[in-house]
Amino acid sequence: HTLWLFTYSDLKTMVVPSTLFALSMGLAKVLSGSGSKTHEHMECLVRRIPAILLWTWINCLAFNVNNQRLPHAVREDTFNKPWRPMPSKRLNNRQAGTLAMSLYPIAVFTSWVLGGGLVPSLLLLLFGYLYNDLRMGDKTALIRNILNACGFTSFAAGGLEVALQSPTGPDTFRWLKAIGLIIVTTVHIQDTYDQTGDAAAGRLTIPLILGDGLARWTITIPMIVWSFICPRYWNVGPSGYLAVGGLGCIVIGRLLMVRSVKGDRTTFLIYNCWLVVIYGLP
C-alpha cells in the first residue's frame, strides 16, 4: 500500500497516459503494415498491456520515491498531500533513501527483462537526478518545464518500446519531439493548483513568477495553437479536430473561469485527457 501511495497521484497523469500512447502508436504501426500477420500482431500488442503498465509504474515509482523523500518535498506534501508516505510517517528518510536506491536498478533490470525501454529508463534516472537531487526544476521555470517534457516523453517512448519490443524509430522520435514541445509550453498548468506547496518549497514556477492570471494565459494561447496544428500535422478528418479542439476548449474555459485548488486539479486531469487524444492522432 505504501508503494501504491508513492505513485497514486501520477497514475492518471503519467502511468495511464503513457500506456495509452504506447498502445495508440503501436496500433498505428500494426495497422500500417500489410499481410496476413496483422491480426497476430494485434493480439501480441494486447498481450503486452500488462508489461507496458509494469514498466511505466516501476519507473514512476523509482522517480517518485526519490522525489518525495527529499526534505523540501516533504514540506510541500505536508500542505498539499499529507496522505503520502513521507508526511504521514509511513517511512523515515533513511528507509525511503534505501528504497529509492534499490528501485532504480530494479527499474533498469525490468526494462531488460521486458525487452524494451532500457534507454528511456536510463534517461529517467538522469532526469530524476537533475530534477530531484540537483533541484534544477526549482531554479527556473523554463528548465522545470523542459525537464517535465523530457520525463513525459521518456515515459511515452519507454512504454512504446515495451509494446513493440523494439527501439523508437525516426517517425516516432519526430512525433515525440513535437509532444515534448507541446508539454514545454503547457505543462505549467500543473502548477496552478500547487502554488502554496511550491512557495513553501521555494520553487520558482510560472504562476508564482508572473502571477496567477497572466500564467493562465501563457497556457491558454499555446493550447489554442496546438489544438489546430496537431490535427493538421496528421491530416485527420473533422472528428480529430473536434476531439482535440473540444477538449482544448473545455480546458481553456475552466482554466480561465474556474480558479480554485479543487477546480484546477480537475482541469489538470482534463488537460491530460487532451494530451492522450493528441497521442492518439496517428
Give per-residue pLDDT as tens, 66-91.
999 988 888 878 887 889 999 999 99
CATH number for the domain spanning 264: value is: 1.10.600
Residue 34 pLDDT > 70, yes or no?
no
Amino acid 5: pLDDT: 92
Coil, helix or strand at residue 199 = helix
Q: CB of 150 within 8 A of CB of 94?
A: no
Percent of the residues in the chain that have a pLDDT greater than 90, as a whole number: 60
| Alpha carbon distance 278, 282 (integer Å) | 8
Cα–Cα distance for residue pair 251/221, rounded to 1 Å? 12
**Average pLDDT score over residue span 124-147:** 90
Report d(CA 232, CA 265) in Å as an integer. 29
**Model pTM?**
0.89
pLDDT classification of 241: cutoffs 50, 70, 90: very high
What CA–CA distance (Å, rounded) separates 18 from 120?
A: 12
* Enclosing domain of residue 171: 2-279
CB burial of 203-217 (b: ≥16 within 10 Å; e: otherwise) equals bbbbbbeeeeeebbe
**Domain tally for the chain?**
1
Q: Inform me whether the pLDDT recorded for 224 exceeds 80.
A: yes
- pLDDT score of 36 more than 70: no
Residue type, 163: A
